[in-house]
Amino acid sequence: MTVRITAPVSGFTGEGPGGLPFVDGAATTSDPAITGYCQGAGYTVEPLNDDPPDDKSATEPDGPSDTKSTGRSAARGKRG
C-alpha cells in the first residue's frame, strides 16, 4: 500500500527517514519499515487509494478447482 507521509516540520525538503525524499514537507512510499518508523516518530501517515484493486481474488475461487477428495484413495486401504 502506498502512503503519503507529512513531515513534522512544515515545508521540509530533503532526505528523510530511510533516505525518503521529502519535497515541501511531503513524500510517498510503500516501504512498510519506513511507514512504521514515521508513524512512531511524529510524522503524519495517510494511505493513498492509488493501488490497483486485487481482481485475482474476485475472479478465481480459493483452493483446487477439481472436486476430488484429498484423502486416501480406496486402493491404499486394500491389502492383498
Mean of the pLDDT values across residues 53-78?
58
Q: 26 vs 51, which has greater pLDDT?
A: 26
Neighbouring C-beta atoms of residue 9, cutoff 10 Å = 13
Q: According to the model, what pLDDT value does residue 49 have?
A: 83
Q: According to the model, what pLDDT value does residue 62 have?
A: 59
Q: 18 vs 54, which has greater pLDDT?
A: 18
Neighbouring C-beta atoms of residue 29, cutoff 10 Å = 20
Q: Is residue 38 within 8 Å of 19, Cβ to Cβ? A: no
Mean of the pLDDT values across residues 40-65?
71
